[in-house]
Amino acid sequence: MSEKTITMRIDDKLHTDIKIEAARKGVSIKDYIVELVLKDLHGEEK
């Protein structure tokens, strides 16, 4: 499967919150955000 890149700008506070939550879960920021998007698109399935 090929991967695409998404680039976006977010404010410092949101970035910090995302970074902290990803670290708390023991995952990368990318994996954390992808998980959130998949849950939003497809419910709780991964």
User: What is the distance between the alpha carbons of residues 6 and 45, in angstroms, rounded to a whole number?
Assistant: 22
Task: Please state the pTM of the whole predicted model.
Answer: 0.83
Give CA angle at 27 (33, 8), nearest 5°: 30
Closest CA to 32 of 19, 42, 43, 45: 19
Q: Which domain holds residue 45?
A: 1-46
39's enclosing H/E stretch is helix 29-42
What pLDDT sits at residue 44?
A: 72
What per-residue confidence (pLDDT) applies to 45? 57
Residue pLDDT tens, the chain, 46 long? 799 999 999 999 999 999 999 999 999 999 999 999 999 999 975 5
Q: How far apart are the first and last CA of the chain?
A: 16
